[in-house]
Structure 1
Amino acid sequence: MVRRRREFNKDSRINDNKRESFKFPLDIDNSSLSNDDQDVRTPSDQPSVYNKRDSKEEKYQLTRPSVKRPTRHTILKARDIPSAIYGSKRKQPERDSKEVYGEKFKNYNSIIVSQIVKERKEKEQRQRDIKKKENQRRAQLAAEEKRRKARIQNGEISDKKTGAKKKEKERLSVLGSKEEVLRKKQLQNQSKRLGPSMSQPGISILGDYQETDYQEADKLLINRINEAFDTLGVEGKVIGYVSNGIIGRYEVKLNRSFRVANVPHLNQALKKNLGLDHLRIMSPLIGTSNIGLEVPLSEVNPITFRTLFESSSLKLRKNDFKFVLGKTVDDKIFSYELSKAGHILVYGNQTLYDTQPVDMILLSLLMNHSPHDLRISVIAEDDSYDDYLDVPHLFGHKVSPSSEHALLDVLTELNNRNVQFRRAHVRNIQSYNNRVKFESEKATMVVVIDDLQGILTNENPEVPRALIQILRQGKPLGIHVIANYKNTDQNIRYELLQLMQTKISFYDEDSDVVNSSNELTEGNDTLVVIPTSNKPNRVSIGQVSKLVRQSVFDHIKHNNR
């Protein structure tokens, strides 16, 4: 193939140069001018000097075809690519909030949720029906009133009514049929209500108050304490006194250079100098840098249950599962919530006060809670808690700790609640009761074990295992254990001790459960450790007489249906 040589075409170049790049504005014909322009520029009778040239033939077509045939490479419409920051600029159509909320639970299958939705729809339908009836009733009343006014204007009837009928008419015109619905609902609530207001015993049956003549300090003892500090060469002076009727505390201000590590030596020296067998030093007092000398009173004023009940928040009669134990040394009521306390261990009970801590807890709960909210299970060998067997709050029957089936009923209830809570997708009793009906709510259960040693030494190994399972899983499920451990000769295991969140220790020579419990006096003097604080609180347990306890039980039995 011969390659063609490129040559310059001179004729083509000359022809291109002869072309005009643009038209001169005056190279047009007179026909395109208006009449005014013709008069000014050229007379109409004279021939035109400028002639319009013929249009040139263009080599290429200037206009494109209106329709272009699409090919497989043609992009008909570019897709919207949302921005990483601003998203898509396309306006989303507005949707109903109920529709959006319903899509979240479109594929959610739950018996409780479906029941709640069904009840909600039925409630909305009932409200719509009531509203419709009210509108119809009001329309009828308005029509009757209009007809009556027309008859009065015509003179057919007179406008004389009695006061009672007129008042009844006005009341119906305002409420309509809603009044009848409200009355029926009120009667239904009164017939179904099982709340604590129907079974709450009165405060007047709780006996007497505590005597109030215990706030005066012993001046002779104050002088002896000041002389003892001078004798020991320690700079200190008594500046305050407070008491709860059983224990008195003398506040002593020491020199700033006194070391806290010397407090045990100071305690022993003061005991010898003052001749006091039971002396406990509280160092330091909360909110100050002073120390407190706690001394038992020679004349004791017992702390009654009525004083504790009326001086605490229990008198508000709330459904908060609070209980009272007694008073601290600074004359303050010691109360706590059962949901926070978890499982309670009562260690080293004295013979005369073996049931007092448990009685204070149970009576505090029975005063403010109905059988629908509270259940009590008793596991005891003797007859100390037989009075609780007749109340409607009892769960199951009394069982001996040495029995092979001591904790079988409680363990069955624990497993049933575990399954029901898991199906309801909840983890604690508060969430479960908020989701179900009033009739399906779970009651808080208190399991009283009179002698924990009998459970631990049971011949059936399943009983101690059941106890461990209840202690581990019971608190969120609403099952609380109050265990009484009397035998201090055998130490309690550390693993079991850690499962007890709240510990109440009486006098213990070895201080196995609570530190410094060997400094307590024998009696209702205790040290209490709660889950929210590692520092023990010295609490004097309150007392309740058998007459008061029986009065509370009789009131509960006769006023619960």
Structure 2
Amino acid sequence: MDRSRRRRQFNRELDDEKNYRDRFRFPLNLDDENNENERTDREDKKNVEEDEDTSFIRREQRKTLFEETKKTEKKNSSFRINKAREIPSAVHGTKKHSVSKEDEDSGNVEKTKSSPETSRVPSAIHGTNKQHLSEEELSYIEADKNEVQIENKGYISPIIESLKKERILRAKREQKRIEERKHREERERARYDDPYNLKGRQIEQQEQLENKTAIAEDEEMTAVSEEPKEKQPAETSSPYNVIMTPYDKKKQKNRHHNDEKRQGPKYTMPSIHMLGSDLTDEYEQADESLDGKVVAAFEAIGIPAEIYDYKSNGIIGRYEISLDRNFRLSNITRLKEYLVPNLPFGNFRIIAPIIGTSNIGIEFPLPEPIHIPFSKVFSSSSLKLRKNDFKFVVGKTVDDKIFSYELQKAGHMLVYGNNEIDSANAIDNILISMMMNHNPNEFRILIASDKSHYNEYKGLPHLFQEPKSIMDPDVLSGLFKELNDRHNQFRRAHVRNLNSYNQRVSYESRKSVIAVVIDDLSQLFESNNPDAVRTIVQVLKKGKPLGIHLIMKHTRPDVSIRFEWLQMMQTRISFKDEKSNIIEGSDTLIDGNDMLIQIPTSNKALRVNAAVLPELSKQRVFSHLKNIGG
């Protein structure tokens, strides 16, 4: 049986009314009057619906009755303000707009009562004060009255005035530009009409004649006047005026400097022609008879070989030999005993392998050596550019390449070997190549030796002090003081090396590079000179960044050198040494002009033959340097 699940409700209308009230309840009862009006309207509707059948009055009549009994609306009182107070405009201020007569006649203008006791509201820009123009602005406005007419009545807006001034200045600039263009066109036209400027020369000649006549008249007047004139004080021209701008002051100072006579350089470098001629005999081609003997020597011990290349520097020659691919290069040193009786050389040196290749090299002295001229080496290297890079040149390598290196990278050098003449010539090449490109303000020499070989250096402007014996207690005292002074100055300047310091100071305050030649180091070890030893140790530790470099010569292999000293000597030059104390492989060198050089930027030593500087060329260079220094 279907039953309705709708719950029976009594007085349903009352419940709906309660729900309506709860649903639309306004918070805080701020609108109770509206709720009461709605409630009364709802009750009236119910009464009307109930009384429709019993009422005898029609609805239209009821409406009219209700309208008659309707509450009257409130009228505006005469004390209410109909118009807001006048606020001054940012453009027009408190000035009212002028109303045309047509608007007044038509009645479009609304007449409102002014509110009593209304205070004036200050402007957002100028406040309650009107803007007052300065005297400069007034003078500017009076000067341009023809162009702009300004009313004196009312408030004057600064924005509009600035716009007007900009427009006037723009017009003036345009007019000036047009005038300059006209003048330019006139000058071009005159230059075209008179290309040789004949008219201008005539005018200049007339002005010169007038000036000469005026000067002659003045001289005549001074000659006629017999009264002696009082001595007038000399005109003192101040360096610059106080009112001048910084640019004008600087310009005035530079003008005084330019007026002074410029002095030329006080020091001139020696010419390359002083070094002598660079002509040499040909030594590039090898002896053909030796080629077959070298190949036959390798075939005799069962190793197939082929000559790949031949190079020479005039003193030492080198065959570059390519062996079989399956042959191990590490075994070639073992075969030297078997190659000695077969090779045609009495003394040779095997290089396995040559750097950059898989071939081996056999170096041997030429039967007729050709000396390497120093002028050829100097003019063929980068030293001929005369740069300030502190480079020196020693000679040539076996592959006919020039050996040059920077002194600041080389650091401290050791020349080792029982070869007095050739080691002294190598040191001469280093010093002379430096003096050829650097003046005494950049490069200095200190010689700690009493040998006759260094007597020629006396009187040179490059000397730090006069040469003294290595056994003199004060031989390096000045160097020790210079080392400490530079160390303190570099610390104050917050720099670590010589180049950084010279970049920060003036030219007069720059420090020079000092090369200290010590000859002989073995004599110093045998004798007792603790002051010199202490100074050498300090220079080895901290002299390289300060610009002080040691060139020490050691000619007695039987006198050993401390291992700590050897570690601080970055560049080593070794002549023939049977024990190979300094550089490994120096026992294979030949007696005389032949050396191995170990530089700090390479792992393998280079075989170098020193260039020879003739005694006449050396005297020519020294005499030039002494005359310049004197």
Specify if TM > 0.5: yes
User: CA contact under 8 A between 1:401 and 1:458: conserved in structure 2?
Assistant: no
Q: 1:282 to 1:181 in 2, by over 3 A?
A: same
Aligned pair 1:425/2:494, yes or no?
yes
The separation in 2 between residues aligned to 1:316 and 1:279, in whole angstroms, is 37
| Structure 1 residue 489: Cα displacement | 1.8
- Return the alpha-carbon distance in structure 1 between the equivalents of residues 204 and 272 of structure 2: 43
Alignment of 1:4-43 (within 5 A): 21=26, 23=34
Segments of 5+ residues of structure 1 without an aligned counterpart are 1-12, 29-40, 54-141, 150-157, 167-176
Establish whether residue 499 from structure 1 lines up as the match of residue 572 from structure 2. Answer: no
What residue is the counterpart of 1:509 in the other structure? 578
Contact 2:330/2:352 (<8 A) preserved: no
Aligned to 1:329: 398
Asked whether the 8 Å contact 1:376–1:445 carries over to 2, the reply is yes
Please report how far the alpha carbon of residue 558 of structure 1 lies from its aligned counterpart in structure 2 after TM superposition. Answer: 2.0
Residue among 424, 427, 430 paired with 1:355: 424
- Structure 1 residues 410-431: Cα deviation after superposition (integer angstroms, max 9, x where no partner): 1111111111111111111111
CA shift digits 1:37-86 (9 cap, x unpaired) = xxxx9999874389689xxxxxxxxxxxxxxxxxxxxxxxxxxxxxxxxx
Specify the structure having the higher radius of gyration (Cα): 2
Shift of residue 349, structure 1, vs aligned partner: 4.4
- Give yes or no for contact 2:395–2:611 (8 Å, CA) kept in 1: yes
Q: In structure 2, what is the equivalent of residue 84 of structure 1?
A: none
Q: Which moved more, 1:177-186 or 1:322-331?
A: 177-186
445, 470, 480: which is aligned to 2:539?
A: 470
Matches within 5 A, 1:9-408: 21=26, 23=34, 47-48=66-67, 159-161=199-201, 181=254, 184-185=257-258, 190-191=263-264, 193=265, 198-408=267-477
The count of corresponding residues between Structure 1 and Structure 2 is: 424
Distance, in Å, in 1 between the alignment partners of 2:302 and 2:370 is 35
Say if 2:415 and 2:423, in contact at 8 Å, map to a contact too.
no
Q: How high is the TM-score relative to the length of structure 1?
A: 0.69
Cα distance between partner residues in 1 of 2:303 and 2:363: 18
Q: Which deviates the most, 544-553 or 272-281?
A: 272-281
What is the alpha-carbon distance in structure 1 between the residues aligned to residue 396 and residue 61 of structure 2? Answer: 127
What secondary structure does 2:341 align onto? helix
CA distance in 1: counterparts of 2:549 and 2:575, whole angstroms:
21
Partner in structure 2 of residue 538 of structure 1 = 607
Which structure ranks higher in relative contact order (CA pairs < 8 Å, sequence separation ≥ 6)? Answer: 1
> Residue 483 of structure 1: SS of its match in structure 2?
strand
**1:464–1:48: structure 2 CA closer, same or farther, 3 Å change rule?**
same
Structure 2 residue matching 1:425: 3-state secondary structure: coil
Offset of residue 454 of structure 1: 2.2
CA distance in 2, matches of 1:255, 1:537: 27
How far has the Cα of 1:238 moved from its partner?
Answer: 1.0
Alignment match of 1:548 (pick from 598, 617, 621): 617
Question: Which of 591, 601, 608 is equivalent to 1:522?
Answer: 591
Deviation at 1:263, TM superposition (A): 2.1
Of 487-496 and 16-25, more deviation after overlay is shown by: 16-25
Between the aligned partners of 2:617 and 2:204, the Cα distance in structure 1 is 52
TM-score (norm: length of structure 2): 0.62
Partner Cα separation in structure 2 for residue 165 and residue 403 of structure 1: 78
| Cα distance change, pair 423–163 in 1 and its aligned pair in 2 (3 A) | farther
Q: Deviations over 1:207-239 (max 9, x none)?
A: 121414100111111100011111010121112
Q: Partner letter of residue 353 of structure 1?
A: D
Decide whether the 8 Å contact of 1:199 with 1:560 is kept in 2.
no
Map of 1:444 onto structure 2: 513
State whether residues 407 and 463 of structure 1, in contact with CA within 8 Å, keep that contact through their aligned partners in structure 2: yes
Cα distance in structure 1, aligned partners of 2:390 and 2:410: 10
Contact conserved, 1:374 with 1:444, CA < 8 A, in 2?
yes
- What is the alpha-carbon root mean square deviation over aligned residues? 3.6
Structure 1: how far apart are the matches of 2:205 and 2:604?
72
Deviations 1:314-365 (A, max 9, x none): 0000000000010000000000000000011100142432311101100110
User: Residues 247 and 218 (structure 1 numbering): CA distance in 2 closer, same or farther, change over 3 Å?
Assistant: same
- Cα distance in structure 2, aligned partners of 1:531 and 1:311: 24
C-alpha contact 2:522 2:559 (8 A) present in aligned 1: no
